[in-house]
Structure 1
Amino acid sequence: MTGPARPAARPGAAPEPGRIDAHLRAAAARHPDRPALVDRGRTWTYGELDRETDRWAAALVRHGVRPGAVVSWQLPNRAEAVVLHQATLRIGAISNPIVPIYRHAEVGFILRQARSEIVVVPAEFRGFDFPAMVGDLRAGLPDLATVVVVGTAPPGDGVVGLEDFLSAPATEPTPPEPAVPDDPDALALLLYTSGTTSDPKGVLHTHATLEHENHSMIEFFGLTGSDVVFMPSPVTHVTGVLYGLQLPFMIGAPVVLLDVWEPGAGLDLIERHGCTFVVAATPFLHGLVHHPGRTPESTRTLRVFACGGADVPPDLVRRAGEQLDCLVVRIYGSTEFPTATSTNLSDPVRTRAHTDGRPIGRAQVRVVDDRDRPVPPGTAGHLLVRGPERFVGYLDPTLDADAFTPDGWFRTGDLAVVDDAGYLEITGREKDIIIRGGENLSAKEIEDRLFEHPAVADVAVVAVPDPVLTERACAVVVPEPGADVTLPALTTWLRERHRLAVQKLPERLLLVDELPRTASGKVQKFKLRDRLRRSAP
């Protein structure tokens, strides 16, 4: 099995002495009986989790996975995701989480580009048949040899149930695990993110970049083995990977998983297991604060809620801090650069509520003009970030030239202001995306699909504000003459024709005679957003 070529090392990268997967093994050796993972009522100790990781690692090797290969998986927040991710890293392969909301269009693209030879999926999650989806895609995936199903596996060539996958054949010796070099600059993670393009972009992280990121968070928030991490964010997002699948084992702490978000269930888990630390997007914080069943006892142990992935209203930060009686902060980052800025207890409440914080760890931020020249404090411009946690490049290297400056700064695509004290505030986006509940949705992708509809003559997709999800997608459509265009008809057509993730479907429709355009033909989306804002109920 072969994986993507490793990109050149980043200028100024600071190598770490070990690999990020070594922490689970070390923690299991130090305290094998300490709780490590809570999932659906079961608690795994560090010893149990380490042994199960060895079992999965051996199974991956038996099925041909070698160092540098990509192991794709589309699993919810459950123990299988934790074990598979750790086992993949343990044998020197590259973990490729895929968010469970992705459907045929996104999953097919990812498996083809990553040239995945193995993928692990649930038999069913939230009413969706994942093996059937992969079966539909198999003809277009010549590299895909093995589909592992967590649950009952349907009959099919190369499809195997989890227990059969893990069982060693009695007549065949288990091949030895490959020697894995202690190389912190080896690739560890391939994670896809949406942006301005129709197709997802494969982001490459090494053991070193992930290690630097987690160390900066541990130090900034003073995390120790006495903490208990609560992870409701999908472990297939960068937030879930970092702080659900890796950081807890670096400090020898347990992680509590929740697979389907429901604020009442979240509050119950926080109270029952004494959770102290959460990193999640705005809807999760909003849900905890506004749940009618919340009591002071529910969040008595909660110490830090770092909120990011979408715009965080200042009033929510203030109210949440008071009502949950914990430190609530905004946090800025991305899949490419997980955490650049935040605040902590040393910062005033107003600063925590109204800014995205100051650089943490060794992260650097810079605001520049259109010619990459730094602008004075308080002046809006393009945000660049740099530091040892920065990703090493995209799987498609043709995307790198636009992503980086010659001296290694990452172009975030966000507009920002940095004040005299060094605090960052995001003021807008260059990228044409909708941030829905922490998910980055490409407006262009939705537009490209809608353009194919026979009743659509022209279309633009823009974000409309939402008090809970931050933003929702609105399709502004110019109908073909005489065509009857409705939102249900468009969404049904998108589901049936393109099988997109449900979250990408437009949730509002505006019919217009023509789209406002510049002299060069570019759609003036700011005018559409202003019109929608004025017409909001």
Structure 2
Amino acid sequence: MILCPSERIAEMVGAGHWSNRTLWDMFIANVERMPEDEAVVDPPNLAAIADMAPRRLSWRLLFAEVERLAALLHRAGLRRDDIVVVQLPNCSAQVATYLACHRLGVVISPLPAVYREHEVSHALQVCNASTVITAARISKHGHAAMMAALPDVKQLLAFGVELPAAAVSLEAQDVSAEEYAAMRVQAAAIGLSANDVVTICWTSGTESRPKGVPRSSNEWYWQSKGTVDAAGMAPGKRFLNPFPLVNMGGLSGGFVGWLLKGMTLILHHPFDLMVFLQQLREERVDYTLAPPTILTRLLQQEALLEGIDFKRLSRIGSGSAPLSPWMIDTYRQRYGVEIQNYFGSNEGAGLCGSEADIPDSHERATLFPRPGAPDRGPWVTGINNLVRTRLVAVGDEREITEPGEVGELRIAGPTVFSGYYAAGPELNARAFDEQGYFRTGDLFEIASTRQHLRFVGRLKDLVVRGGMKISAEEVEGLLATHADIQEVAIVGVPHAELGEVLCACVAPKPGSSLTLESLATFLREEKKVAPFKLPERLMVLDSLPRNPVGKVLKRELRQMFREPQA
């Protein structure tokens, strides 16, 4: 299944960015180069998560498991360009399943383990898929039974025990020599290219229904290379991946980057801080990823970090929210660890703030390299030289070239996808501008250095109050430093005269009390915020509603304010 236009393929190949090296080619190269080296390590608590015994597989043993699963998938009638929905926790069975599908040219559509019937049915219908691969249970939920009850699921393949009658077990089936041979003949005949779609991942659905994002081996390559190059990864390095292998965060470095570099992939999922720390201590980890909140929490409870070999673990990746300069400085000064700051999306937007390109911790906390910045030589991290960016004023498509003005980031290059799957020409036309740049929906500004970009917020999170545009994420970032706030989200709510005003949706820390007046005083007097940015509504909640990958569902918060308020 090749969805990328031939003109773009020719452009990328001609520029030397794309090749015909598939993810399968990367896997085989590792199997042949280091067959007995450790390839993948399961979470130690996998039995409690999914009734599967944790394994440590060499590249040779992983290859054998991939071949077994590929033969079973071939037996089940799966062929090139079929789409299979896969819902598994991070584990060696999941990794082997992805590779087995890719071996046969079967497209993988991975779903977060926390998706339920509503989200799964949407993915099945968009992809026109009828086969699902899952586990009997993930944590306390019976996934196989849930899938068996969905009308769109015609074939259910599953790992684990106590499967429903409709499910075919992938655990302990014998495979005949004839079946292996038939699978290998089929795999050899399909002529899989690096432009064939490997995965269809899903956007977060924070504002609407999730959209399918197809990506080929070529589109994955540079996105992943940027991640692992910045981290100093190399063959034999040990990478602890706690992010689900279902979207850019986990797949880029945790799956594709692992194949690209020939590392040991140590898996973790769902996130459990104490298990994560146990793995950091016991698995000789060279690199890992963690959200900013977790990294800050660990510094506030430093006893948790005892026993970790920071001579090996010299870099940690983070992102998804502005980082704290204090946090970056403290890891560097106390432990010799450099924190990498990543920005990316499933569609292929990618920027990397590493210590090599942004040595100053205060700049690295909030800034990213600006590809194509004037009077700037090449960046150390290659991905920052490959992508092309534009900053465009909201509303009038005027290109921004001076510091201080907020605009939408547009991006193009070999990392960027070719369009949403089965989305129709109108949606895909809106996704790209007239110059072929992807409209990220992310707001940035050019920093005073002129060589960097500063993330401001999401385009859809602009609140327009009396004609004044306010970034919700900017105000959220300020309120997040309030001593009594545990979680906060800012949404625009209707107002009869001003159009919209800001509502602060807050989950306070236990024992704390918050008032609208106290928040306004904090922003006005401590943060020196302009008056028009002050919240004019307050909603106090126990916790904020989130989607399966942890993003706040602002549409649910807005639904509480459907009628204009004077």
Give the TM-score taking structure 2 as reference length.
Answer: 0.74
Q: Counterpart of 1:13?
A: 12
How far apart are 1:461 and its partner, in Å?
Answer: 11
CA contact 2:204–2:551 (8 Å) conserved in 1: no
Q: Counterpart of 1:339?
A: 350
Q: Does structure 1 residue 319 correspond to structure 2 residue 347? A: no
The one-letter code of the counterpart of 1:183 is: S
Q: Does structure 1 residue 37 correspond to structure 2 residue 65? A: no
Inter-CA distance 510–198: structure 2 relative to 1 (3 Å threshold) = closer
Q: Does structure 1 residue 384 correspond to structure 2 residue 410? A: yes
CA contact 2:107–2:200 (8 Å) conserved in 1: yes
Inter-CA distance 122–173: structure 2 relative to 1 (3 Å threshold) = closer
How far apart are 1:289 and its partner, in Å?
Answer: 3.4
Q: Counterpart of 2:103?
A: 90
Q: Does structure 1 residue 412 correspond to structure 2 residue 424? A: no
The one-letter code of the counterpart of 1:397 is: G
How far apart are 1:358 and its partner, in Å?
Answer: 4.3
CA contact 2:112–2:549 (8 Å) conserved in 1: no
Is 316-325 or 147-156 further displaced after alignment?
Answer: 316-325
The one-letter code of the counterpart of 1:372 is: E
Matching residue within 355, 365, 368 for 1:353: 365
Q: Does structure 1 residue 363 correspond to structure 2 residue 387? A: yes
How far apart are 1:182 and its partner, in Å?
Answer: 4.3
CA contact 2:228–2:253 (8 Å) conserved in 1: no
Distance 2:549 2:204 in 1: 15
Is 282-291 or 207-216 further displaced after alignment?
Answer: 282-291
Q: Structure 2: 5+ residue runs without aligned partners?
A: 45-54, 372-383, 463-471, 477-488, 494-499, 510-538
Distance 1:406 1:232 in 2: 38
CA contact 1:68–1:93 (8 Å) conserved in 2: yes
Q: Counterpart of 1:76?
A: 89
CA contact 2:508–2:540 (8 Å) conserved in 1: no
How many aligned positions are there? 468
CA contact 2:233–2:261 (8 Å) conserved in 1: yes
Is 501-510 or 203-212 further displaced after alignment?
Answer: 501-510
CA contact 1:21–1:90 (8 Å) conserved in 2: yes
How far apart are 1:9 and its partner, in Å?
Answer: 4.2
Q: Does structure 1 residue 155 correspond to structure 2 residue 164? A: yes
The one-letter code of the counterpart of 1:57 is: A
Q: Counterpart of 2:183?
A: 176
Q: Counterpart of 1:190?
A: 200
How far apart are 1:318 and its partner, in Å?
Answer: 3.2
Q: Counterpart of 2:523?
A: none
Q: Counterpart of 1:235?
A: 245
Matching residue within 422, 427, 430 for 2:459: 430
Q: Counterpart of 1:103?
A: 116
Distance 2:284 2:180 in 1: 44
Deviation per residue, 1:426-455 (Å, 9 max, x gap): 11211359999xxxxx999xx9xxxxxxxx
How far apart are 1:216 and its partner, in Å?
Answer: 2.6
Distance 2:366 2:80 in 1: 45
How far apart are 1:513 and its partner, in Å?
Answer: 8.3
Deviation per residue, 1:242-301 (Å, 9 max, x gap): 212221122121011112322222122122222122234334434543445423541412
How far apart are 1:235 and its partner, in Å?
Answer: 1.2
Matching residue within 211, 236, 239 for 1:201: 211
How far apart are 1:8 and its partner, in Å?
Answer: 2.4
Inter-CA distance 339–295: structure 2 relative to 1 (3 Å threshold) = same
Matches within 5 A, 1:107-146: 107-137=120-150, 139=151, 141=152, 144-146=153-155
Secondary structure of the 2:113 match is: coil
Inter-CA distance 24–376: structure 2 relative to 1 (3 Å threshold) = same
Distance 1:294 1:513 in 2: 42
Secondary structure of the 2:182 match is: coil
Is 335-344 or 170-179 further displaced after alignment?
Answer: 170-179
CA contact 1:17–1:184 (8 Å) conserved in 2: yes
Q: Counterpart of 2:260?
A: 250
Distance 1:486 1:384 in 2: 36
How far apart are 1:377 and its partner, in Å?
Answer: 2.8
How far apart are 1:511 and its partner, in Å?
Answer: 11
The one-letter code of the counterpart of 1:45 is: S
Q: Counterpart of 1:22?
A: 25
Identity of aligned residues (%): 23
Distance 2:454 2:352 in 1: 10
Matches within 5 A, 1:259-298: 259-295=269-305, 297-298=307-308
How far apart are 1:197 and its partner, in Å?
Answer: 4.5
Secondary structure of the 1:393 match is: coil
Secondary structure of the 2:171 match is: helix
Inter-CA distance 463–190: structure 2 relative to 1 (3 Å threshold) = farther
Is 288-297 or 125-134 further displaced after alignment?
Answer: 288-297
Distance 1:240 1:403 in 2: 24
CA contact 1:299–1:325 (8 Å) conserved in 2: no
Inter-CA distance 86–28: structure 2 relative to 1 (3 Å threshold) = same
